[in-house]
Amino acid sequence: MTGRTRREKVDQREGDILIAARDVFVENGYDQARMAEVARRAGIAEGTVYLYFKSKNALLFAVLARFWDDLTAGARAGVEAETPGLPRLRCLMQYHMDCLSRDIELLQMAAHVQNLLYGDPETQDHLRRYVSVFDDVFRQCQALGQLSTDFPVWMARDLFFGTMEYSARTMRVRGVEQSAMVVAHLMMVFETSYRADAGEHPQSLNGVDRLDAVSDRLEEVVRQLLRSGQH
């Protein structure tokens, strides 16, 4: 606390603001988030926030940038601990789905913001770096002969991110946790539609995966029941 240089203090304060802002944004959504509340939680005056971020929008961008960066780091780490090829793909899928379920509010805001300021290349960079984790994994599957090279990567990418994002959104509306099934299903789709030896029969989503998924869902339902029973 004592021996910190001015620069360190400033960095620390910027971090405090970002953390406070993230909380406030997630709790209230962008529109309902109050700059005054962000300042209060960061323990500074309202005007001070504007020394660090030039507007509410810029603040959200900064929060999202950090979020994407964390996501990228986590994904790279998780993926590299797996054997190359399809297992890595499944691992990334699982990771992405988990993050989506956990932080869907932030991601919705990202889409909202994307709408506002797409075109600014700087703002999209963090997202692009995250997306490239998938690109790498997918290309490696192709290189290993596990997936067909007949399709451009962007198609698989749209399928991958699009399906999961939409699932996460509807899951939330329906109030059910079914990420395991989503992952199993999407993995099946990748394996059947993009399989390298296209002459063979597609393999169906296997029984164990689905049993897994069903039990996850049941567990979730029961857990909700228990939780609500305590009030």
Partner DNA sequence: AGTATTAATGAGTCAGTTTCATTATCGTCA
Partner DNA sequence: TGACGATAATGAAACTGACTCATTAATACT
Q: Is 109 in the site for its own copies (CB under 8 A)?
A: yes
What is the number of alpha carbons within 13 Å of residue 60 lying toward its C-beta?
Answer: 25
Q: Are 60 and 113 within 8 A, CB to CB?
A: yes
Q: Which is nearer to its own copies, 42 or 89 (CB)?
A: 89
* Residues that contact DNA, how many (by CB under 7 A): 22
Stretch that binds its own copies, among 2-10, 17-25, 138-146, 187-195 (CB under 8 A): 187-195
Secondary structure, 3-state, 138-206: HHHHHHCCCECCCCCHHHHHHHHHHHHHHHHHHHHHHCCCCHHHHHHHHHHHHHHHCECCCCCCCCCCC
Interaction of residue 103 with its own copies, rule CB under 8 A: no
Backbone angles phi, psi at 136, to 5 degrees: -60, -50
* Binding interface with its own copies (CB under 8 A): 29, 31, 105, 108-109, 111-112, 114-116, 118-119, 124, 148, 150-151, 154-155, 157-159, 161-167, 169-170, 172-173, 175-176, 181-182, 185-186, 188-189, 192-193, 195, 198, 200-205, 207-208, 210-212, 214-215, 217-219, 221-226, 228-229
